[in-house]
């Protein structure tokens, strides 16, 4: 306890009060009282936290995080999310908001993305093509990126996708391609099927894509300014 530590320090230095003049004694006492009041301020403003663990069955993952004891709806402290393949997400909360550097991991446990929420800066993304030749051919300096990594989108699809009855009845399998626009402020709009397979799969793919949250980092043009861009997301339908 910081307060007890400071009080003990005052006891150990009590000989100073007998050695020096009254003026010096008063100065030392004032200094120690300042330390005590400072310690009391820190203790009064300290955040008392409680560890929480939650589990999800499908998709399977476990979250470990901390909340404020006075309000357990507010996360505060370290956060981890892990699945069958290992660590998925690692970061920290500050009074309910993500802060500092967060790390997101892919299917094989490899680091897929790092993002600094304090500076709002993308530090790393596995799928950014850094080849100068390809960069010159593209109209963007950087394509739109999903905050959290593309793996986090596709992890949720198995639990969200409902195989259409007609497609199941007629044995329809394949990929449906959905395009969408990512706005300058990171929203996904204008979703539409550009290549379908029928049997209700096209409508289902569009429904699932529209469930993706608006957590996009917009594309950057040649001047590193946010711009609207188009993306394509394939959805696979395969009978088990």
Q: Which two tokens stand for residue 138?
A: 């593209």
pLDDT digits (tens, 9 = 90+) for 16-60: 444 445 555 555 555 565 656 555 554 445 569 999 999 998 888
Strands 121-125 and 111-116: antiparallel
CA distances from 47 to 4, 94, 95 (A): 19, 10, 9
Question: How much is the pLDDT for 240?
Answer: 79
User: What proportion of the chain, given as a percentage, has pLDDT over 70?
Assistant: 76
> What rounded mean pLDDT belongs to the chain?
85
pLDDT digits (tens, 9 = 90+) for 91-123: 999 999 999 999 999 988 999 999 999 999 999
More confident residue, 158 or 187: 187
Count of all residues that appear for the chain in the document: 240
Q: Which residues of 90-123 are buried (b: 16+ CB within 10 A; e: fewer)?
A: bbbbeeeebeebbbbbbeeeeebbbbebeeeebe
Enter the pTM of the model. 0.76
């Amino acid at each position: 306890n910081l307060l007890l530590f400071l009080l003990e320090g005052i006891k150990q230095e009590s000989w100073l009060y007998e050695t020096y003049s009254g003026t010096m004694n008063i100065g030392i006492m004032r200094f120690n009282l300042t330390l005590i009041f400072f310690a009391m301020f820190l203790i009064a403003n300290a955040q008392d936290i409680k560890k929480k663990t939650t589990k999800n069955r499908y998709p399977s993952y476990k979250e470990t995080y901390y909340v404020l004891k006075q309000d357990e709806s507010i996360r505060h402290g370290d956060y981890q999310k892990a699945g069958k393949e290992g660590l998925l997400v690692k970061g920290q909360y500050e009074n309910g908001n993500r802060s500092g550097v967060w790390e997101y991991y892919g299917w094989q446990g490899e680091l897929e993305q790092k993002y600094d929420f304090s500076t709002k800066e993308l530090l790393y993304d596995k799928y950014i093509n850094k080849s100068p030749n390809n960069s010159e051919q593209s109209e963007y300096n950087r394509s739109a990126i999903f905050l959290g990594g593309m793996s986090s989108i596709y992890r949720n699809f198995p639990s969200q996708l409902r195989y259409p009855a007609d497609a199941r009845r007629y044995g329809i399998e394949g990929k449906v391609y959905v395009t969408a626009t990512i706005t300058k402020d990171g929203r996904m709009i204008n979703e539409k099927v550009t290549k379908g397979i029928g049997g209700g799969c096209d409508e289902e793919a569009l429904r699932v894509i529209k469930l993706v949250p608006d957590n996009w980092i917009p594309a950057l043009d040649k001047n590193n300014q946010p711009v609207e861009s188009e993306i394509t997301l394939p959805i696979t339908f395969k009978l088990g």
